[in-house]
Amino acid sequence: MSLRLLDGATVATSHEASFDVVVVGSGPAGAAVARAAARGGARVAVVEEGPYVEPSEFPEDGFSAMARLYRDLGTSVLTGNAPMPFLQGRVVGGTSVINGAISWRLPRDVYDEWTAADPALGDAIPWDEVEAALDAVEADLGIHPTEPEVAGLNNSLLARGAEALGLEHRPISRNVRGCRGLGRCLQGCPEGHKTSMDLTYLPDACAHGAEVLCSTRAIRVRCDGSRAVGVDAVTEAGARVRLEARRAVVLAASAVQTPALLQASGILHGRPGEGFQCHPGVSMVGRFPDLVRMWTGATQGHEVIGLRREGIKLEALGYDMALVAMRAKGVGAQLAHDIADLGHFCNWGAAIRARGRGRVSARRGGRVAVSFSLTREDVLRLRRGLAVMGEMMLAAGADHVTPGIPGWPERITDRAEMARFADEGPLDPKAYTMAVTHMFGTCRMGSDPARSVVRPDFRHHRVEGLYVADSSVFPTNTGVNPQTSIIALASICARRVLESSDRG
């Protein structure tokens, strides 16, 4: 299968077209909506700000990949009591192209939280329907646990450390087929073994008549009275694009870009952008006597799930050699020694289910500002996550670990000293180096129009024919990697679009 593309980099004159459904965003949510809607007989257009890049053209080094495949070269930053970068793909296929392929089902306890707070959600999206959608995603994308032969030592050591501490752990389930453990998930798999949206759902949608407009930025949802009737966009070459949506406009541009587009369109009901939530993450580095070569094997192939109910999830992290070298210290002979020693280091991460809240705000020229602050409870989780990772590394055989926290030794060799960090680490959020990859909650779904942007069936409360399908509708963050949940719920959203159109 192939994509039906209109490349905005080459479209320099105005363009108009009419479709049944216009989808903004080609990542997991947008691709899922496009596929289901096109299979249901709708004529579908997908608008994607980023370019289309063939897998064979994915850069090998992380810096080049960030320049070509990531939004803002991977330098987008949340402002607040601890500024931190957040990472998003800006390419056909969205973040599915450059993530670690981690595939978690929506936890039942998270769904139960949502429906306990708003029972109408359970009525509109029954658990049986969610489970069936999750099953379909797993089958579609070949999701399965990481095989030992492609895991690599970085992942195996995490398993060893977790076992030593008596923590529940397991191989990570990933959306891959034929993975050879190249360690290049974060740069895009050059062999196309990651079943990202550009290789799966989008080609399927195009086989059923959908079209993808890439290098084209949506700038406004166009309304006629109280009904959404289309999308205005601009191509990379500077041309205006006017797309008519006869049946529905579906926003699936992420928990950052979707509320910003609503704000830019003057659609402010429910205060889109408020309630931003995320999973901040910290990492720990450890040195092992044996060669680890963290840039080989599955990029993220093993995880600790025994702390999930505490709001902490631990994962192995693999980076390409250029990014690993950034952690080297010193200059001259010391720097040369550290570079030569890179193969002995491993890197693991702790993501937390943060309680903090923030806000997304649209700015002039299509720019977006995101603010977010950690709570004291969040910092306590970060401390515990770092302490446990350090203990795990030392238990797995590391000769030292490097917390990278002001006021603490650069090298720790004793498990008891590392364990103290959980109680004695700093409470200042700025003491921690963090990054964010999962974002939620900025266009919440709910039955109360005063406290939510869309209804439990994904329809906007005030604008007919307008739907939101991405993680911005999630009432809370999930504490786990959300891609599979996003795809499943977006597929259900597409079903509601088709049902509503049939009734209309």
Residue 465's identity, in one-letter code, is G
The tokens for 425 are: 């680490």
- Answer yes or no: are the C-beta atoms of 152 and 181 closer than 8 Å: yes
Interval 377-398: pLDDT, tens: 999 999 999 999 999 999 999 9
Residue 108: pLDDT over 90: yes
Terminal-residue alpha carbon distance, the chain? 33
> Alpha-carbon distance 279 to 438, whole Å?
6
How confident is the model at residue 340, as a pLDDT? 85
Instruction: Report the distance separating Cα 273 and Cα 267, nearest Å.
Output: 11
* Nearest to 257, CA basis, from 222, 231, 218: 218
Q: Tell me, what amino acid is at 466? A: L
d(CA 273, CA 178): 39
Cβ distance 175 to 103 under 8 Å? yes
For residue 503, pLDDT beyond 60: no
At residue 230, does pLDDT exceed 70?
A: yes
Active site residue 144: no
DSSP string, 441-456: -TT-B-S-TTT-SB-T
Alpha-carbon distances of 433 from 129, 381, 386, rounded to whole Å: 39, 14, 11
In the predicted model, is pLDDT for residue 200 greater than 90? yes
Mean pLDDT computed over 353-365: 94
Three-state SS at 280: strand
Rounded-to-integer distance, Cα 328 and Cα 410, Å: 12
Q: In this predicted structure, what is the pLDDT of residue 231?
A: 98
- Say whether pLDDT at 327 is over 70: no
* Residue-level pLDDT at 437: 87
d(CA 281, CA 264): 30
HSE-CB at 434 with a 13 A cutoff on CA atoms is 34
CA distance 157 to 301: 11
Write the CB contacts of 211 (distance below 8 Å, at least 6 apart in sequence): 4, 5, 6, 19, 44, 45, 46
Q: Are strands 211-214 and 44-47 parallel, antiparallel or unpaired?
A: parallel
Question: Rounded CA gap, 133 and 487, in Å?
Answer: 8
Q: Which CATH superfamily is domain 5-503 in?
A: FAD/NAD(P)-binding domain (3.50.50.60)
pLDDT surpassing 90 at residue 500: no
Q: Which pLDDT value is given to residue 375?
A: 98
What's the pLDDT at 329?
Answer: 64
Provide the pLDDT confidence category of residue 328 given band limits of 50, 70 and 90.
low
Q: Within 13 A of 250's CA, how many CA atoms are on the CB side?
A: 38
Give me the percent of the chain exceeding a pLDDT of 90.
90
DSSP letter (8 states) at residue 51: P
Q: Say if residue 210's pLDDT is above 60.
A: yes
Average pLDDT, the chain: 95
Choose, from 279, 302, 438, 460, the residue flagged as catalytic: 438
Report pLDDT digits (tens) over 37-85: 999 999 999 999 999 999 999 998 888 999 999 999 888 999 999 999 9
pLDDT (mean) for 171-199: 96
Q: Where are the beta strands (DSSP E) in 378-484?
A: 400-402, 435-440, 466-468
Q: How many CB atoms lie within 10 A of CB 53?
A: 19
pLDDT of residue 341 exceeding 90: no
* Distance (Å, whole) CA 71 – CA 53: 14
- Give me the mean pLDDT over the 352-359 stretch: 97
The answer to whether the CB of 332 falls within 8 A of the CB of 338 is no
Percent of the residues in the chain that have a pLDDT greater than 70, as a whole number: 98
This prediction's pTM: 0.96
pLDDT grade for 26, boundaries at 50, 70 and 90: very high
Measured CA to CA, the distance from residue 370 to residue 78 in angstroms comes to 5
* Structure confidence at residue 330 as a pLDDT band (50, 70, 90): low
In whole angstroms, what is the distance from residue 442 CA to residue 470 CA?
10
Contact 411, 418 (CB under 8 A): no
How many residues does this entry show for the chain?
Answer: 504
Residue 324 has pLDDT above 80, yes or no: no
Q: Which amino acid is at 262?
A: L
Question: Confidence class of residue 373 from pLDDT cuts 50, 70 and 90?
Answer: very high
Query: What secondary structure, in 3-state letters, does 70-114 show?
Result: EHHHHCCEEECCCCEEECCECCCCHHHHCCCCECCCCCHHHHHHH
Host H or E run for residue 246: strand 240-251
The residues near 153 (Cβ < 8 Å, ≥ 6 apart) are 290, 291, 292, 293, 297, 346
pLDDT band at 1 (very low <50, low <70, confident <90, very high): low
CA distances from 7 to 16, 22, 71, 198, 239 (A): 14, 16, 18, 15, 12
Highest mean pLDDT among 166-175, 285-294, 357-366, 403-412: 166-175
Tokens matching residue 306: 């025994």
CA distance 347 to 405: 15
Residues 489-498 pLDDT 10s: 999 999 999 9
Q: What is the mean pLDDT of residues 333-338?
A: 78
